[in-house]
Amino acid sequence: MYLIQKKLLKLMSVIIGQKAPNFAVSEWVQGAPTNFEQEKDHIVLVEVFQVNCPGCFMHAIPEAITIYNKYKDDGVRVLGIATAFEDYDKNTLDNLKMLVQTGEVIGETQKALSMYGQLDKDNKLNYKIPFPIAMDKLTKTDGKIDEGKVLEFIYGQIPEFDSQPDDYRTQIMKRVKDYMKSKEYSAETFEKFSLQGTPSMILVDRKGILRDVSFGQSSNVESMIKKLLSE
């Protein structure tokens, strides 16, 4: 019998509608260090991306830059956190620093942006990211699987997990355990907020309450920020 959801919720770090825990970083590569607890009276939008993520640079980061430019004088803070849950040889701190310092992109990001004509004549980004950027805190894994972490991950992706058939739950448990065994590193912020991939967005209001966590292109981020500004 699996742990019931009520017990698991005690293990979970983040719940929408409750105070957002601080995110974790290994190093700030642009801008002054900060965190949710330091951003009182600000609405905070955190764009989580990978260096080797074409969609992050084609859609999510330009959208975050638009939000930054439009609302930076209205009490909205935009931050970027680069993470790594795959392609650990490409999603590195060194490649993030190169991106920030020179605009140079790598891997699938470079291929896709080049294909769609979104790089300049020097094969670099045709825009500069203006907001603070940090690297997620990565820890080398030891191959041990924590049952609580497995369930926490599953409920972050499948909230209705308890109501699924036994065979389905067994299959999902095995897949997640296999995935965790294959990981070279654990990315603390990515896992703490139960993110599903990149790009992802974390939105926190002026009181430090977590208001939204979403994966993929978010067409309603501006409307959510407008709503928070009016509260």
Phi, psi of 118 (to 5 degrees): -105, 20
Report pLDDT digits (tens) over 55-99: 999 999 999 999 999 999 999 999 999 999 989 999 999 999 999
Residue 40 lies in a domain: yes
CATH, residue 113: 3.40.30.10
CA distance linking residue 24 with residue 191, whole number of Å? 10
Instruction: For residue 143, name the pLDDT band (cuts at 50, 70, 90).
Output: low
Residue 166 lies in a domain: no
Report pLDDT digits (tens) over 107-142: 999 999 999 999 998 889 999 999 999 999 998 877
Residue 78 lies in a domain: yes
CA distance linking residue 103 with residue 31, whole number of Å? 16
Residue 118 lies in a domain: yes
- Work out the mean pLDDT of the chain and round it to a whole number: 88
Q: Which residues of 62-91 are buried (b: 16+ CB within 10 A; e: fewer)?
A: ebbbebbeebeeeebbbbbbbbbbbeeebb
Residue 50 lies in a domain: yes
Q: Please state the pTM of the whole predicted model.
A: 0.81
**CB-based contact 80:46 (threshold 8 Å):** yes
Count of domains for the chain: 1
Residue 7 lies in a domain: no
Phi, psi of 45 (to 5 degrees): -110, 120
Residue 202 lies in a domain: yes
Residue 148 lies in a domain: no
CA distance linking residue 186 with residue 195, whole number of Å? 13
pLDDT of residue 13: 59
CA distance linking residue 95 with residue 23, whole number of Å? 21
Residues spanned by the domain of 65:
18-138+196-230
